[in-house]
Amino acid sequence: MKPEVLFNLLSDTTRLRCLMLIQAEDEACVCEMTFALNESQPKISRHLALMRDAGLVVARREGTWMHYRIDPDLPSWASGSLQQVLQQLEPLQPYQDDRKRLGEMTGRPGVPACG
């Protein structure tokens, strides 16, 4: 991955918000990101596909759900840069609201229901 590719990917608000959720959760499903960001599934999927094609995230399928995580094989300069950026943005808006909304989501994949 080239630096200009990484920083171009980070320049889009939707992609950055998705990455913040993925980083916070270690892995996030498309449905979780659409709920937390209040965006359409096609829009979220399109941005995730761009990040996957660039090698920033990796995907795994679980039934009908697609889960994304940050690629563990990123070059060290890229993973270090990404980690620093996400850490600095974590206390800011809209990232805090996104995490709050995600916490309120019922029926999350892989999260046991209370009962």
Q: Tokens 């206390």 appear where?
A: 91
Q: Are 55 and 74 in contact (CB under 8 A)?
A: yes
pLDDT recorded at residue 65: 86
Residue 111 lies in a domain: no
Domain residues for the domain of 30 are 3-100
**CATH number of 58's domain:** 1.10.10.10
Residue 108 lies in a domain: no
Residue 112 lies in a domain: no
Could you tell me which residues come within 8 angstroms of residue 33 by beta carbon, excluding any fewer than 6 positions away? Answer: 17, 18, 21, 39, 44, 48
Instruction: Give the global pTM.
Output: 0.89
The number of beta carbons lying within 10 Å of the beta carbon of residue 54 is 15
Mean pLDDT, the chain, whole residue set: 92
Q: Are 114 and 36 in contact (CB under 8 A)?
A: no
Residue 65 lies in a domain: yes
Residue 114 lies in a domain: no
The two tokens of residue 104 are: 């309120």
Residue 22 lies in a domain: yes
Number of independent structural domains in the chain: 1
pLDDT recorded at residue 111: 62
Per-residue pLDDT tens digits for 49-99: 999 999 999 999 988 889 999 999 999 999 999 999 989 999 999 999 999
Q: Buried (b) or exposed (e) across 80-109, using 16+ Cβ within 10 A?
A: ebbeebbeebeeeebbeebbebbeeeeebb
Q: Is 39 helix (H, G, I), strand (E, B) or coil?
A: coil
Residue 92 lies in a domain: yes
Residue 56 lies in a domain: yes
pLDDT recorded at residue 69: 97
Could you tell me which residues come within 8 angstroms of residue 40 by beta carbon, excluding any fewer than 6 positions away? Answer: 34
